[in-house]
Amino acid sequence: MNPFGLGVLGIIVFLVLLMLRMPIAYAMALVGFTGFALLSSASASFSMVAKEIFNTFSSYSLSVIAMFVWMGFLAFYSGIGTRLYVFAYKLMGHLPGGLAVATQLACGIFGAICGSNTATAATMGAIALPEMKKYQYDTSLATASIAAGGVLGVLIPPSVIFIVYGMATEQSIGELFMAGIIPGILLMLAYIAAILFLTLRNPALGPAGPRASWKERASSLRGGLFEVLVVFALSIGGLFAGWFTPTEAGAVGAAGVLAVSLLGRHLDWTGFKKSLYDTTRTTAMIMLMIAGAMIFGRFMAISRIPFELANWAGSLPLPPFAIVGVILLIYLVLGCFIDALALILLTIPI
């Protein structure tokens, strides 16, 4: 079988392994190792796998992932997410669908110190969903607002997906972070507008809550919002100003969240240990996925799949925007079944 045919077969086998519920990191590594061995030799494939795994787990640049992940877990266990939601609720809760609107605002602000869409959705879901059930919100609106708000954790920096994408494609992480701010804010406003439109048409979907006094709103400012602004200014602001590298910015951000949490006496020893445990587990999972993607990417490169696809796309009688639209449509379909980070790692080599 020629290299291109073997590459296509490898992609099919990979998809079958995913349907059999094999973890995506193992599936990418297994297909990449086997395909590389068939196209070269077993010894060369073993050497390639060892090199990619070592390079991934010993990379200084990738250590930034652990720092930004720890920022998010420290914020979660210190209750910053809860205090953010209280602030957002005091500010927006009196509007139609106010709890859902407050969820979007809180997710957007929390995304400034948490780079994971899953962590953002889980944090706000644990706080917002019981409140929306209490006020008899429509179940579809409640769950959709939490799931949609989690996406803001990807766009608004820091973002683990931006970091991984930047490392894989050799792009500036600082520029990727800057590119995500405006789309993230616009997406948050679009979600809020959609919620208001739906609840104004049908108030039963999301009843308005009680209006908070200006004194209550002012007092809530001293909670999570102030903490997030301080940490964001130190970490991401320092990165944009050129004071820190991305890795240093992650370390400064994690230290900032830890300092703010300890000074406010919001973090106990149990929460600190849990944040370290969850950070280690999450970082190991991400790094393993990156290593698997690198192995899979080496197989794709030697099988010439990316080059053949590029030549095919370039020969199509379509304008560039149409090709981009097709790519977005493919991402839309695959995103229904595959996690965002895994999808990025899977498609970059192709």
Instruction: Note whether 96 and 208 are within 8 A (CB).
Output: yes
Burial of 118-155, coded b for 16+ CB within 10 Å and e otherwise, reads bbbbebbbebbbebbeeeebbeebbebbbebbbbbbbb
User: Cα–Cα distance between 240 and 226 in angstroms, integer?
Assistant: 20
Query: Quick one: which of 200, 176, 188 has its CA closest to 64?
Result: 176
Q: Check pLDDT > 80 for residue 108.
A: yes
**What distance in Å separates the CA atoms of residue 290 and residue 54, rounded to the nearest whole number?**
11
Q: Quick one: average pLDDT of 185-189?
A: 93
Is the Cβ–Cβ distance between 160 and 341 less than 8 Å? yes
Task: Give the helix ranges, DSSP H, for 207-319.
Answer: 214-221, 224-241, 246-263, 269-303, 305-315
Asked if residue 121 lies in contact with residue 165, where contact means CB atoms within 8 angstroms, the answer is no
Largest CA distance in the chain: 74
- Indicate if the pLDDT at residue 350 is higher than 70: no
Instruction: State how far the Cα of 330 lies from the Cα of 324, in Å rounded to an integer.
Output: 10
Distance in angstroms (rounded) separating the CA atoms of residues 334 and 343: 7
Per-residue CA distances from 223 to 18, 74, 101, 158, 201 (Å): 43, 15, 19, 21, 34
Long-range contacts from 267-273, C-beta under 8 angstroms, 24+ separation: 267/74, 267/77, 267/78, 271/77, 271/78, 272/74, 272/77
299 close to 36: Cβ distance less than 8 angstroms: yes
Q: What is the pLDDT of residue 174?
A: 85
Going from the C-alpha of 198 to that of each of 138, 147, 188, 249, the distances in angstroms are 11, 17, 16, 40
In this predicted structure, the answer to whether residue 311 has a pLDDT above a threshold of 90 is no
User: For 304, which DSSP code?
Assistant: T
What's the CA gap between 207 and 182, in Å, rounded? 30
Q: Is the pTM of this model over 0.75?
A: yes
Quick check: 224 pLDDT over 70?
A: no
Residues 6 or more apart from 10 whose CB is under 8 A from it? 31, 32, 34, 35, 299, 300, 303
* Cα distance between residue 143 and residue 176, in whole Å: 29
How sure is the predictor about 160, in pLDDT bands with cuts at 50, 70 and 90? confident
From 20-24, 241-245, 280-284, 304-308, the region with the lowest mean pLDDT: 304-308
**Cα angle 139-145-148, degrees, rounded to a multiple of 5:** 135
Reply yes or no: is the peptide bond before residue 158 cis, omega within 30 of 0: yes
Q: What is the mean pLDDT of residues 66-87?
A: 86
CA distances from 50 to 25, 84, 131, 293 (A): 15, 44, 50, 14
Q: How far apart are CA 78 and CA 72, in angstroms?
A: 10
| Mean pLDDT of the region 142-156 | 87
pLDDT tens per residue, range 239-274:
888 888 888 888 999 999 999 888 888 888 999 999
Q: Please determine, for residue 223, whether its predicted confidence score (pLDDT) is greater than 70.
A: no
* Residue 342, pLDDT score: 79
Taking residues 175-179, what's their average pLDDT?
89
CA dihedral angle for residue 219, residue 155, residue 195, residue 343, rounded to 10 degrees: -140
Alpha carbon distances (Å) from 220 to 215, 225, 226 = 9, 8, 9
User: Among 115-124, 173-182, 194-203, which stretch is predicted with the lowest mean pLDDT?
Assistant: 115-124
Task: Indicate the average pLDDT of the chain.
Answer: 86
pLDDT score at 322: 85
pLDDT of residue 266: 86
pLDDT tens for 338-347 read 777 878 887 8
Tally of residues, the chain: 350
Mean pLDDT of 39-50: 93
Q: Tokens standing for 207?
A: 């009843």
C-alpha to C-alpha distance for 74 and 260, rounded to whole angstroms? 10
